[in-house]
Amino acid sequence: MEARDLPPPAKRWTPEQTRVLNAEGAVSIVHARSGAGKTTVLRGYAKKRPQRRILYLVFSKPNQIEAEASFPSNTKPQTSHSLAFGVTGLRYRRKGLADTKPVAVSRIFGTSNATASAAIGLVRKFLSSGCDTVAAVVDPRNMKDRSALPYAEQLWELMKDPNRRDVPMPHDGYLKLFDLEGHVVKGYDAILFDEAQDANPITVNILKRQNIPLVVVGDHYQSIYGFRGAVDALEQFSGEHFMLTNTFRFGPEIAQAANSVLSMFGERDLIVGRGGPSQLHRDGKPEGPYTFLSRTNAGVIHHGIASGTKKLHFVGGFENYRTERILDAYFLYARMPGEVRDHEFREFSRFDQLVEYGEEIDDMEINAIVEIVKAFGMTTPLRLDDLRARSAVPAEQAEITMATFHRSKGLEWDNVVLGDAFDWSKFLEEDPRKRLAKFREELNLLYVAASRARKHLWINATLEAIMRAYPVG
Ligand SMILES: Nc1ncnc2c1ncn2[C@@H]1O[C@H](COP(=O)(O)OP(=O)(O)OP(=O)(O)O)[C@@H](O)[C@H]1O
């Protein structure tokens, strides 16, 4: 391989990376731990094969834009939706691509809004499933589902009809059609499939039909979107398995924190921290700029309010942190229930009912919202306004960068402070035979967040307890 294919000066491919670069099997399954250079290796794989036309399937539009700037010209980065759009999506350009609202569906079928909403829910479930028919996703024990089925089936027919302009085609709809109509990917000699641990089941179906070399890359422990119906594609293919365990993001100390989570699952292929020196902190605060990560949106907002006058940057934009729900909780607190807009919160007329509800269903987001309103009381709306004003600075001027664990995925910073995560005592209270499965996604989220730090990581109480209970290294 030529020198230009190697990572930056004086760096060499590791033996693990070299094995992936040379992979020529029909299906190569690459398990890449956090920061282990998977993107660098995929780029190397594409550069090594300049004669091949390569499709690089990425998770989201921002990933696509980033890859377009850094991958060689023989590689086309695309999301699975953009791939399907050119084949099955174009048919619906005239009538529009969007979600259908219950009010429109109830008008078409002459049903109540509730039935219309249930029918839309069924179609959505079908579109994000690997099933061939709408009927296959119906829960036979659910009366509402069963009575909505005939409307859901008709709704899907109307969505597919390019002439029914009153019923738009959803984006997941033309992707589903690409699969149902049995299309194969044309014009490529190989496919690289990234972030495979959180794959759309329809994309997996499509990829299973291809007969060109496929490289499936991801990290089982970074799967965090199972709650949205994502599947771990690393487990859905058979082929040759590869490991990337050496990370260049951080040193052994931060690796140890991340590894203690992996060892809970009995994982033996742990991270080898080969980055610069790194440090773990149990208390104190960073002196300079830092990044704060929290499990919940409200946890992020709470830290932002409590940070006083600091300039802030919210990853993904302030408006995506759902502050309107905090305001709704405040309306309950301030005895103004008529102002509440949130669908779920409108069920309550008093703040104490919301508090009780959050505790009863053990909802981390609601409990964190309650904490904010309890802490800042009648000043809550003013605090939120101030927060919005403090976040109107360019990202590079921020003193604190803020994100949820989910939004931190794929990003990295020098100094990271971990905010709230799931409650460790709740984990311990669970039946030992069931708790790992029950808390899997929570543990994955903690692993994702802890492995974002390059130099300094301030751990939270949950990670500290895990490190004590599962010491490694
Ligand atoms: N062999 C190597 N030697 C030194 N540095 C390397 C090597 N391979 C990759 N790197 C560096 O490690 C860093 C992380 O690489 P990369 O962004 O490809 O990781 P990733 O696995 O895609 O991260 P994530 O897990 O967050 O998706 C980059 O700065 C990259 O240049």
**% of the chain at pLDDT higher than 90:** 82
Choosing from 4, 13, 30, 39 the residue with most ligand 1 atoms within 8 A of its CB, the one to mutate for a pocket test is 39
What is the rounded distance in angstroms from the CA atom of residue 423 to the CA atom of residue 421? 6
Cβ atoms of 300 and 403 closer than 8 Å? yes
Over 70: is that where the pLDDT of 3 sits?
no
CB of 36 closer than 6 A to ligand 1?
A: yes
Whole-number Å distance, alpha carbon 35 to ligand 1 midpoint, is 5
- Ligand 1 atom 4: the closest Cα is on which residue? 11
Q: What local confidence, expressed as pLDDT, does residue 61 receive?
A: 85
What is the number of the ligand 1 atom nearest to the C-alpha of 40?
A: 18
Alpha helices (H) in 181-230, listed in sequence order: 201-208
Residue reference for tokens 């029914």: 164
Whole-number Å distance, alpha carbon 418 to ligand 1 midpoint, is 22
What tens digit of pLDDT does each residue of 161-178 get? Answer: 999 998 999 999 999 999
Choosing from 6, 20, 40 the residue with most ligand 1 atoms within 8 A of its CB, the one to mutate for a pocket test is 40
- Ligand 1 atom 9: the closest Cα is on which residue? 37
CB of 246 closer than 6 A to ligand 1?
A: no
Helix (H, G, I), strand (E, B) or coil at 11: coil
ipTM of the complex: 0.96
Q: What is the dihedral of CA 90, 93, 94, 100, to 10 degrees?
A: 120
Q: What local confidence, expressed as pLDDT, does residue 355 receive?
A: 96
What is the rounded distance in angstroms from the CA atom of residue 356 to the CA atom of residue 348? 11
Q: What local confidence, expressed as pLDDT, does residue 7 receive?
A: 55
What is the number of the ligand 1 atom nearest to the C-alpha of 222?
A: 25
- Ligand 1 atom 6: the closest Cα is on which residue? 248
Task: Quote the pTM value.
Answer: 0.89
Whole-number Å distance, alpha carbon 430 to ligand 1 midpoint, is 37
CB of 248 closer than 6 A to ligand 1?
A: yes
What tens digit of pLDDT does each residue of 247-286 get? Answer: 999 999 999 999 999 999 999 999 999 998 999 999 988 9
- Ligand 1 atom 26: the closest Cα is on which residue? 410
Average pLDDT, stretch 190-217? 94
Pull the structure tokens for residue 12: 């060499």
What is the number of the ligand 1 atom nearest to the C-alpha of 13?
A: 1
Whole-number Å distance, alpha carbon 40 to ligand 1 midpoint, is 6
Pull the structure tokens for residue 414: 């020098």
β 312-314/400-404 pair status = parallel
Task: Report phi then psi at 307, rounded to 5.
Answer: -80, 5
β 272-273/312-314 pair status = unpaired
Residue 420 DSSP label:
-
What is the number of the ligand 1 atom nearest to the C-alpha of 33?
A: 25
Whole-number Å distance, alpha carbon 250 to ligand 1 midpoint, is 10
CB of 34 closer than 6 A to ligand 1?
A: yes
Q: What local confidence, expressed as pLDDT, does residue 440 receive?
A: 95
Query: What amino acid occupies position 138?
Result: V
Q: How does DSSP assign 38-98, residue by residue?
A: HHHHHHHHHHT-TTS-EEEEESSHHHHHHHHHHS-TTEEEEEHHHHHIIIIIGGGTTT-B-
Q: What local confidence, expressed as pLDDT, does residue 113 receive?
A: 86
Q: How many beta carbons lie within 10 A of that of residue 295, not counting itself?
A: 24
Angle 235-237-241 from CA coordinates, rounded to 5°: 80
CA atoms within 13 A on the CB side of 169: 24
Choosing from 11, 248, 414 the residue with most ligand 1 atoms within 8 A of its CB, the one to mutate for a pocket test is 248
**% of the chain at pLDDT higher than 70:** 98
What is the rounded distance in angstroms from the CA atom of residue 284 to the CA atom of residue 210? 53
What is the number of the ligand 1 atom nearest to the C-alpha of 412?
A: 26
Alpha-carbon distances of 82 from 63, 88, 253, 381, rounded to whole Å:
13, 10, 41, 40
Whole-number Å distance, alpha carbon 37 to ligand 1 midpoint, is 3
Pull the structure tokens for residue 352: 């104490």
- Ligand 1 atom 5: the closest Cα is on which residue? 248
Q: Which pLDDT band holds residue 189 (cuts at 50, 70, 90)?
A: very high
What is the rounded distance in angstroms from the CA atom of residue 84 to the CA atom of residue 79? 9
- Ligand 1 atom 27: the closest Cα is on which residue? 410
